[in-house]
Structure 1
Amino acid sequence: METESPGFGQNTKTNQRSGGLRRLSLAMIATDRTAEGFTGLSDGAGGPGAVLAAFKAAAPYLGLPPRVVHAVDWLFRFTQRQDWEPGARPVVWPSATVQQADLDLGVSQTKALNRLLVELGLVVMRDSPNGKRYGRRDRSGRIIEAYGFDLSPLGVRLEEFRAVAEKGRAEREAVRQLRRRVTIARKAIEQIAETAVEVGLEPGGFVREAEEARRLCWRLGKEERSTVLVFGVTRLEDRHGELRQRLESLIAERRGSAQKDVETDPKGPENRPHQYRYKSNADPEQDTVSGIEKSSPAPVMSVAPTGSPGLRDGSSGPQTGRGGQKPALQDDGTVLRITPDELVRLAPRLRPYLGRSSPAWPDVVEAADWLRHDLGVSKPLWGEACLAMGREQAAIALAIVSARPAGHFRSTPGGYFHGMVARARAGELNLGKTIWGMRSKRDTHGWDQPQ
């Protein structure tokens, strides 16, 4: 066996006793005491493979370098299951030459590695009288005599390794969840800032808050400790709540001070809705939007002006039969008429964003533009919906999505709305049947898939 000491110090002469025996260091004494507690693995422990697996699982959380893990893994190649049974001792005796060749290390590197294994409390060096590593087994494979690396400390620390690995996995999962919350809070703050810029409500202040959230998120992205991440997440989420409340207050103030006649075309003339004065009326055919069985890229829902009910063929002009009398309306379910008030009753999530109790269709469209933020519908997707369906029909489609229960969506409400827009482009969207279903089931939680 090698006479160089794996203890502390570089001067081998001071670490040797007469006769070539290894001089004990404090680390060797502590590791040797650990090894004395080895009484064999229990029947349910799983053998040396379980010990090695537990050690390798705990190594990242113990801060052990890869070369140490590789060295221990290599030593386990020379042990056998019976070496870990009660009354036995798991000692392996690969020569220094084999160790250097297999691990691709020099003489000094091998000595330093062996010292590190002892100091970390992983192995004990069992020295032979002549300083060489060797061992003998009987016919049954049990060790009779052995000098080399005693792996007993690893067996004693089996439960410690398992506990460390489990705690490490829990910490890693906590960090993963906290980082996810950091991202969600940052995006929510950025969405609020985008909304503030869009509507012109203190945009500079909200933009600065979004920039600060991005900087904090970047710093937290490098953090591995859950305790620090919890602090950062709490700060971001609290700030998000404050900013949302501020934005809602500013919106309420603006609506409260706004004049009765407001700009109903803030987003350009391309999708300008029909403009009219809304007046509550008992006439169910007044102020209605009709859903046609098959939609097309052009808007398929028409808003009939006051006093001119929408007709089955989509026209809104007056038509007469014999004697100047209007023909009786035959609503066979393929054409639907729905008032803004009824839509709000069917989709109550619109109500907080409406500026008055008796809304007209421009009010519903504006409220839907605010509601889309809660549903995760982006501004570009909302614009695509207005182009594909028309503004009023897009508002009705969004209201339908808001009325769905949370478990209805396979992905997200925004993804569901995206599918509706795609079907509208293909001429396959039929909101009429869906509205009839909502009317018939408004007192239950069951909903039909839009046709």
Structure 2
Amino acid sequence: MQHISTTPFGRRPVAAGHLAQRALAEAPLPASAPDKWAILRDLTAARAAFGISDRDLAVLSALVSFHPHLQLAEGDGTIVFPSNAALGERTHGMAESTLRRHLSALVRAGLVLRHDSPNGKRYAARGMDGGLAVAFGFDLRPLLVRAAEIAAAAEAARAANLRLKRLREAVVLRLRDATKLIAFGEELGGNWDALADRARLMARSLRRKLDVAALEALGLEAADLLESVNALLSPIETEEMSGNALESERHIQDSNRLLSESEPSSEQEGLAAAEAPDPDRAVPKLPLYLVLKSCPDLLDYAPHGVDSWHELVGVADFVRPMLGISADAWREARATMGDGAAAVTLACILQRASEIRSPGGYLRSLSAKAAAGGFSPGPMVMALLRADNTRAA
């Protein structure tokens, strides 16, 4: 009967760790043996909990590859006995001194056991029946004994990584909103330097690898920054979207409705279809991202998305007849506001179509204001953003 020795070869003394290794060697195997590569994948996810590095895992993977079966409990036991030269080949030329260091780390972590032969060599001998009678080398039995522990640690590590990812996503999104809103506010005027500096400092912090506590703190700071930005933007007048404006457009429909608005001629439709959007005409001082965020209904008519002002004008031109806006009213809006601003205005009208009785008359009234220099689509966009934030809260 073979005696499995857990004491080290040579002059190395017995330490407390060797007694723990003996307990692992004598522990019962679990009822079911999982795939050895599944254990290794779980250990990769949970490597921090076991205090091992990726290089340690590379050496362990090479050791596992010398076991001939898919499950460690199958066949001729759990001891593998590769030479250092063979291990070096399977670790892509790792130096022998480096191999010894990583093998020692795996033993200290209690993931493999070292069964030294009387002369310190790794080898196996077969019996009369052809099976292994004795083997000296590295025992992979701890991977089986600790499989459930490794799986639980891997699940906890994956959950922690997922939480870290979600926290980072939330910080990035809040910071992106704040940064773009600050840029928009700077276009409108005012002193935004302090908020812009805070945003830059937070963006710099995100370059580092932060833990959960740091990300939670940064998330609170980003939320406070976004709230401060929204508070500065809230005084912007939104009379274009107010009840008075709606009353004005109702008056236009009821008492001064143009025939060309309700019944566009085929000639006018043809002229409108022939007009190609000019993306370089009066591009609004608004981030396209904010326009699309405030007017998500427009994206229903753009299956491939909207990536430029040119595409936004094209989608607005496509949606315009569905709102009952005549070609003449659309042409007038583009002439007075510019193509980009007219497209943003139409997107806002589409977003509030259920509240606007006559989109065509409303667009004409806004075109008249634009001709007098008293209209910009920016407040409409901000009003929609604030309404969306209120609903989300």
Which stretches in structure 1 are left out of the alignment for 5+ residues? 1-5, 8-14, 256-276, 301-368, 379-397, 444-451
Residues 302 and 315 of structure 2 are in contact (CA less than 8 Å); yes or no, is this contact kept in structure 1? no
CA gap of 1:33–1:120, structure 2 versus 1, over 3 A, is same
Report the secondary structure of 2:291's partner residue.
coil
Residues 93 and 146 of structure 1 are in contact (CA less than 8 Å); yes or no, is this contact kept in structure 2? yes
CA distance in 2, matches of 1:416, 1:106: 55
Residues 48 and 80 of structure 1 are in contact (CA less than 8 Å); yes or no, is this contact kept in structure 2? no
Which stretches in structure 2 are left out of the alignment for 5+ residues? 1-5, 240-247, 278-283, 326-349, 356-393
Report the secondary structure of 1:187's partner residue.
helix
Residue 324 of structure 2 is aligned to residue 435 of structure 1: yes
Report the secondary structure of 1:132's partner residue.
coil
CA distance in 2, matches of 1:237, 1:51: 41
Task: Choose from 236, 260, 266 the match for 1:251.
Answer: 236
Opposite residue 165 of structure 2, the aligned amino acid is R
CA distance in 2, matches of 1:186, 1:155: 46
Aligned match of 2:108: 119
Task: Choose from 204, 219, 222 the match for 1:236.
Answer: 222
Percent identity over paired residues: 22
Q: If the length of structure 2 is used for normalisation, what is the TM-score?
A: 0.61
Aligned match of 2:83: 95
Which consecutive aligned stretches of 4+ in structure 1 deviate over 6 angstroms post-superposition? 297-300, 372-375, 405-409
Task: Choose from 73, 78, 87 the match for 1:85.
Answer: 73
Task: Choose from 234, 238, 255 the match for 1:283.
Answer: 255
CA gap of 1:246–1:90, structure 2 versus 1, over 3 A, is same
Residues 409 and 416 of structure 1 are in contact (CA less than 8 Å); yes or no, is this contact kept in structure 2? no
Within 5 A, what are the aligned runs for 1:77-226? 77-81=65-69, 84-85=72-73, 89-99=77-87, 103=91, 104-105=93-94, 108-137=97-126, 142-200=131-189, 203-204=190-191, 206-226=192-212
Residues 44 and 57 of structure 2 are in contact (CA less than 8 Å); yes or no, is this contact kept in structure 1? yes
Aligned match of 2:46: 58
CA distance in 2, matches of 1:106, 1:415: 52
CA gap of 1:296–1:123, structure 2 versus 1, over 3 A, is same
Aligned match of 1:383: none
CA distance in 1, matches of 2:103, 2:314: 66
Report the secondary structure of 1:429's partner residue.
helix
Opposite residue 232 of structure 2, the aligned amino acid is R
Structure 1 stretch 138-147 or stretch 49-58: which is displaced more? Answer: 138-147
Residues 82 and 137 of structure 2 are in contact (CA less than 8 Å); yes or no, is this contact kept in structure 1? yes
CA gap of 1:158–1:283, structure 2 versus 1, over 3 A, is same
Within 5 A, what are the aligned runs for 1:265-280? 280=251
**Cα deviations by residue, 1:6-56 (Å, 9 ceiling, x for unpaired):** 99xxxxxxx87xxx47532233332332332242x544x434333333333
**CA-CA distance at 1:375 after TM superposition:** 7.2
**CA-CA distance at 1:406 after TM superposition:** 8.5
Aligned match of 2:328: none
Opposite residue 269 of structure 2, the aligned amino acid is E
Aligned match of 1:293: 269
CA distance in 1, matches of 2:222, 2:260: 44
Equivalent pairs counted in the alignment come to 304
Residue 314 of structure 2 is aligned to residue 422 of structure 1: yes
Residue 46 of structure 2 is aligned to residue 74 of structure 1: no
**Cα deviations by residue, 1:342-398 (Å, 9 ceiling, x for unpaired):** xxxxxxxxxxxxxxxxxxxxxxxxxxx89x7797228xxxxxxxxxxxxxxxxxxx9
Residue 16 of structure 2 is aligned to residue 26 of structure 1: yes
Aligned match of 1:377: 291
Rg larger in 1 or in 2?
1
Residues 83 and 142 of structure 1 are in contact (CA less than 8 Å); yes or no, is this contact kept in structure 2? no
CA gap of 1:429–1:55, structure 2 versus 1, over 3 A, is closer
**CA-CA distance at 1:148 after TM superposition:** 1.3
Aligned match of 2:375: none
CA distance in 2, matches of 1:88, 1:299: 77
Report the secondary structure of 2:209's partner residue.
coil
Q: Which has the higher contact order (CA 8 A, sep 6+)?
A: 2
CA gap of 1:24–1:403, structure 2 versus 1, over 3 A, is closer
Residues 124 and 153 of structure 1 are in contact (CA less than 8 Å); yes or no, is this contact kept in structure 2? yes
**CA-CA distance at 1:91 after TM superposition:** 0.9
Within 5 A, what are the aligned runs for 1:12-23? 20=10, 22-23=12-13
Opposite residue 147 of structure 2, the aligned amino acid is L
Within 5 A, what are the aligned runs for 1:398-413? 402=295, 404=297, 410=303
Report the secondary structure of 2:124's partner residue.
strand
Residues 192 and 243 of structure 1 are in contact (CA less than 8 Å); yes or no, is this contact kept in structure 2? yes
Residues 50 and 109 of structure 2 are in contact (CA less than 8 Å); yes or no, is this contact kept in structure 1? no
Aligned match of 1:37: 27
Report the secondary structure of 1:131's partner residue.
coil
Residues 112 and 140 of structure 2 are in contact (CA less than 8 Å); yes or no, is this contact kept in structure 1? yes
Aligned-pair RMSD on alpha carbons?
Answer: 4.4
Structure with greater helix share of residues:
2
CA distance in 1, matches of 2:85, 2:222: 58
CA gap of 1:87–1:105, structure 2 versus 1, over 3 A, is closer
**CA-CA distance at 1:430 after TM superposition:** 6.0
CA distance in 2, matches of 1:279, 1:432: 19
Q: If the length of structure 1 is used for normalisation, what is the TM-score?
A: 0.55
CA gap of 1:49–1:430, structure 2 versus 1, over 3 A, is closer
Structure 1 stretch 60-69 or stretch 190-199: which is displaced more? Answer: 60-69
Within 5 A, what are the aligned runs for 1:240-389? 240-248=226-234, 250-252=235-237, 280=251, 282-285=254-257, 292-294=268-270, 295=272, 376-377=290-291
**CA-CA distance at 1:118 after TM superposition:** 1.3
